[in-house]
Each structure stands twice: as C-alpha cells, then as structure tokens.
A and B are shown apart, each in its own frame.
Chain A
C-alpha cells in the first residue's frame, strides 16, 4: 500500500525554528513535494525534492533522504502568518501522474 506519515499537529513560538517530518512508504518514488494551506484557503506549492539533501528557499527549506524514506520541511524565523497546515506529497512518476498525499500537519504558532 501507499502511506505517508506526518505529525497531526506541531506547536512553536514566533521567531523560532520548526521542523515538520514526513516518512513515506510507497511503491515507487521519484520526489517529495510540500504544500501549505491556510484555513479556508487553497493549497499552495512550496518545494520539491528529487535528490537527497537540503533545498533552501528563503525562510523555508526542505530536506530529503531517499535511503531513509524520509523528508522534512524546515521553517525558520517563524511568523504568525506561517500558521497553516502543511502537506507532504510523493511523486511516483508513474503512468497515473498522481501525487500521494499525507494527511497534513497543523502548525500552531504562539506569540
């Protein structure tokens, strides 16, 4: 079967750093995407990792370890506006062109 595991909720303080983990078990793997969704809003694409290592985009970074079937999203200098749900999604680059989605992690930021 296909499964992705993320913590359901993470709490952090404004200005701090937080890491949201994602472990996956899928038949086939090509890359890992991350999406952000604010309450009542639409998911927006954040990053994609196909190779091992860290990809940095401003305050957000995403990491992948293919050997460990594991990735994480790192958010630095947290701001209140970062309060949202974060989803990881696996790209298997199969003929169905379908992403396999995690259930999402709700990030709560306290002042």
Chain B
C-alpha cells in the first residue's frame, strides 16, 4: 500500500535551469496539494489540483511556476529559470476527496538546491 511518492528526493539545479518535481498521490486519492517549506519555517501552500483541473493556485508565484495533474500520470510542479531563492523543500500531499481535505497524506518531499 504505497503512500504518496515524490521524485526526485534531491534535485540540484544551476540558476536559469528548469526544475521538474513529480508527485504520485496515494492510490484512490484524486486531490493533490503542493507546499513549499524553507528551513525552520512552516508550510506555505502553493497550489491545489484535482485530476486535469487546477482548483486553487493562489499560493503559487505568477511567473516561472506552473503545476499540472493530468488524467494519467503524476502531478508535476515545474519551476522555470530557477533562482537561488527557489531553494527549499517542496512537499506534495494528497487526500481522497474534498470532504476530508483536513487529513492530508504527505510525500517525503523534494529538496531543491539552486547553485
């Protein structure tokens, strides 16, 4: 019974490159959330997606960041032209449906380092 899977676990990118983070939700879960966390800080909501739909992207920067959750395959968080300030841990979480979104299951995170 696999939990939420994220890959890669660690990602190093040079400034200006693209970062692509993947998240496979728990089996049976159709709701995905992406969060960013800086060291010693709390979770910052970025985007909430359902299959093929972005429900809420109010926490995501308007430029360089995009997210998708296609009908088939994992959810992708894409960061174009990365800058040093993008270095953080990015967590994906999933929930089975909208009625239980208060109980989210988190993946192990992707630690992005921009050099």
Contacts from A to B (Cβ < 8 Å): 30-31, 33, 41-45, 48, 87, 89, 91, 96-99, 101-104
Chain B minimum-CB-distance residue to A99? B102
Chain A minimum-CB-distance residue to B3? A42
Residue-wise interface mask of B (29-48) relative to A, using a CB-CB cutoff of 8 A (1 in contact, 0 not) = 00101000000011111001
Quick one: which of B40-94 are within 8 Å of A by CB? Answer: 41-45, 48, 55-56, 58, 91, 93
Instruction: Give Cα distance in the complex from A98 to B58, angstroms.
Output: 10
CB contact between B42 and one of A31, A98, A103 (< 8 Å): that residue: A103
Knowing A43-B91, A48-B103, A96-B58, the reply to whether A102 touches B48 (Cβ < 8 A) is no
Instruction: Give Cα distance in the complex from A97 to B96, angstroms.
Output: 12
Knowing A43-B43, A96-B55, A97-B55, the reply to whether A33 touches B102 (Cβ < 8 A) is yes
Inter-subunit contact B91/A42 (CB<8 Å)? yes
Interface residues on chain B, number (Cβ under 8 Å): 23
Instruction: Give Cα distance in the complex from A89 to B33, angstroms.
Output: 14
Inter-subunit contact B45/A101 (CB<8 Å)? yes
Chain B minimum-CB-distance residue to A106? B40
A102: chain B residues at CB < 8 Å are 42
Q: A45-B105, A96-B55, A101-B45 are in contact. List 20 more A-B contacts (CB 8 A).
A: A42-B107, A43-B91, A43-B93, A43-B104, A44-B106, A45-B103, A87-B43, A89-B102, A91-B101, A96-B48, A97-B48, A98-B33, A98-B45, A98-B48, A98-B58, A99-B101, A99-B102, A99-B104, A101-B44, A104-B42
